Amino acid sequence: MAKLNEGIGLVVGVQSAEGTINPEVQVATIIANTDDGSVLSANEALGVPIRDGSLRFDIGRVEDENPVVPGSFTRTPGSFLRAEVSTFQFDLAIKGSGKTNGNPVLAGDFNLREAMEALLKGAGIIRGTPTTSATPYVLGGASVLTFKVWRRDSAFTVQDCRIKTVSFKLTPGGIVIATFTVAPGAVALRDPDTFPTSISYGSLLSTKAPVLQGAAAQWAAGTVRGFLSGTLTIDNEFEEFPDSNATTGVINEMTGRRISWSGPFYNDDTSDTQDFSNLIRESTFANADMRFELGTAQPGVGAINNSLRFELEEQVVTAQKFSEQAGKVVWDLETYATKAASANGEAVITSR
């Protein structure tokens, strides 16, 4: 018999420090939002409206193997060390905040919702200085997050998490789907833990995801070149280190970051030489920037914010593959973003 309600829920919160579980997430029994500016109560945490069927949450046992029974090959039970989340991944439809601008329009009107900001912080994408026309989200160190996952009446709380990758799948004429892959920390099971009966995702769910169209996509020296599809990936590198004071005896520390693009662009009169010059360059290629819009910015009084601008700076082309689509020449490009003269300046996402 088919189940109409799979009973899957997800909440998130930023931790004050490594090893300090977010208390709102830990005790949450209600999936909530802060659209109205209210403060979460003691039993509420910020909900994340993941796409149906996208959650991967695999838990394994970490143990120290014990000797076999003498004179045989029969194993004895290993000594339990900890439960470990081996895979933690989910998809979200990307959209603006869904906020309505005030009168007058104020700096901060374009800030994304708190749950989305928490996820971006976990990926090292941090709110910059808001203005009366936009809020930029810039690069920095990844914050530590606590997640709580319900599967019907069991709840798993995972602390000391960071977002390892955010991969944006870009399909013209469709919506943009982001896949978040989590680098998890310690996991705990509280069983039973009744699935929340009160669930409110607010505008993270009710706002219509904008269609990728009229994107004004530019690549290199402001050249307008549309792309047929693409994947933009923010890949954070983490390394595990032992720490006697850590909850599980180990911690994950961020050690690097790579922001890459993969996908085909239509060709133009200049891109034959331009893309190849970038591929073989030996120094900074100052005009190798990419821009595109998701949604249409409407910064006026009473407008609903649902536009995001993506910018990748000084990209290095690592592969250039030829194909043909609709009778037009296409270059399928693979790149990574750089910024020779500005720390954390290789990419920005702007809510407008």
Q: What is the pLDDT of residue 239?
A: 85
What mean pLDDT is reported for the chain? Answer: 90
**Span 198-229, pLDDT tens digits:** 999 999 999 999 999 999 999 887 788 899 99
What six digits make up the tokens of 145? Answer: 């997050």
CA-angle at 32, arms to 28 and 37, nearest 5°: 120
Strand order in the sheet with 125-127: 125-127, 135-139, 347-351, 308-312, 290-294, 218-219
Q: What is the pLDDT of residue 240?
A: 81
Q: What is the pLDDT of residue 2?
A: 43
Q: What is the pLDDT of residue 273?
A: 75
Unique residue bearing structure tokens 């290199």: 220
Non-local (6+) Cβ contacts of 144 within 8 A are 14, 15, 17, 18, 122, 159, 160, 161, 162, 185
Helices (H) and strands (E) in the chain, counts: 4, 19
Nearest C-alpha neighbor of 13 from the set 35, 46, 57, 49: 46
Q: What is the pLDDT of residue 212?
A: 98
Q: Which residues of the chain have pLDDT under 50?
A: 1-4
Q: Answer yes or no: are the C-beta atoms of 226 and 304 closer than 8 Å.
A: no
Q: What is the pLDDT of residue 241?
A: 83
| Cross-strand partners of 224 | 218
